[in-house]
Structure 1
Amino acid sequence: MTGISAAELAPRIDLAVTAVQGVRECYSARPVVARAFEHVTDVEGSLAAVDEAGGVRAITVCIGVSLDDDAAEVAASVAAAARAAGGDDVPASVRVRVSRLVAPAS
């Protein structure tokens, strides 16, 4: 790894994910306890979850995709963007959860 911390990487991933064509919404992938702590302490956290254990990094993101888009293609693009966000810092795994299919505005 290049030395970029999980705290530095998570906001980069958030930006990369929101820039992917087909992503309509982003949701927090972090544990409920972490989100609750941030809410109580008035601290804003990133939506991406970046976990490190034993020198291995895992990334999880949750997105909403339009019913008009191919969710699998969008998820694959999001995974590639999340991997690229860290530069040379390649994660062991990237999990993309399609949490919602968003109906287009009529």
Structure 2
Amino acid sequence: MTAITAAELAPRVDLAVTAVEGVREVYSARPVVARAFEHVTEVEGSLAAVDDAGGARTITVCVGVSRQDDAAEVATAVAAAARGAGGDDTPSHVRVRVARLVVPAT
């Protein structure tokens, strides 16, 4: 298994993703049940979903980009940032969802 836990990695991924140029919004990629539990218990959770199962790690993030940005380029940069968030700890799979195209403020 990896040296950093999923709970430790998720907030690092959140910070790395928000720093990527072209990311206008970051949305929760975590399951609805987990978000509902946090809402009821008034606990703040990370937006990134980090799952360890079967000896493999999966990181899922959900971002919004503007219409002026190339969504594929932003998603590629987000994936690289998510991979680098753990330092030497390399996830086996990173999934980036582009949830919506955000219209920039005028």
Mapping of residues 1-106 of structure 1, within 5 Å: 1-106=1-106
Instruction: Read off the aligned partner of 2:96 and give its amino acid letter.
Output: V
Offset of residue 55 of structure 1: 1.7
SS at match of 2:12: helix
SS at match of 1:51: strand
Offset of residue 105 of structure 1: 1.6
- The 4+ residue runs of structure 1 with deviation greater than 3 A are none
SS at match of 1:64: strand
Query: What whole-Å deviation, never above 9, does each CA across 1:45-70 have from its counterpart, x for those lacking one?
Result: 00000000122100000000010100
Q: Could you tell me how far apart the structure 2 residues matched to 1:48 and 1:105 are?
A: 25
Offset of residue 42 of structure 1: 0.4
TM norm structure 2: 0.97
Offset of residue 2 of structure 1: 4.3
- State the identity as a percent: 80
TM norm structure 1: 0.97
Q: Could you tell me how far apart the structure 2 residues matched to 1:39 and 1:49 are?
A: 16
- Matched residues, number: 106
SS at match of 1:89: coil
RMSD: 0.8
SS at match of 2:77: helix
Stretches of structure 1 lacking an aligned partner (at least 5 in a row): none
Q: Could you tell me how far apart the structure 1 residues matched to 2:39 and 2:11 are?
A: 17
- Confirm or deny: 8 A CA contact 1:10 1:50 kept in the other structure: yes
SS at match of 1:75: helix
Q: Could you tell me how far apart the structure 1 residues matched to 2:29 and 2:2 are?
A: 24
Stretches of structure 2 lacking an aligned partner (at least 5 in a row): none
Q: Could you tell me how far apart the structure 1 residues matched to 2:54 and 2:97 are?
A: 24
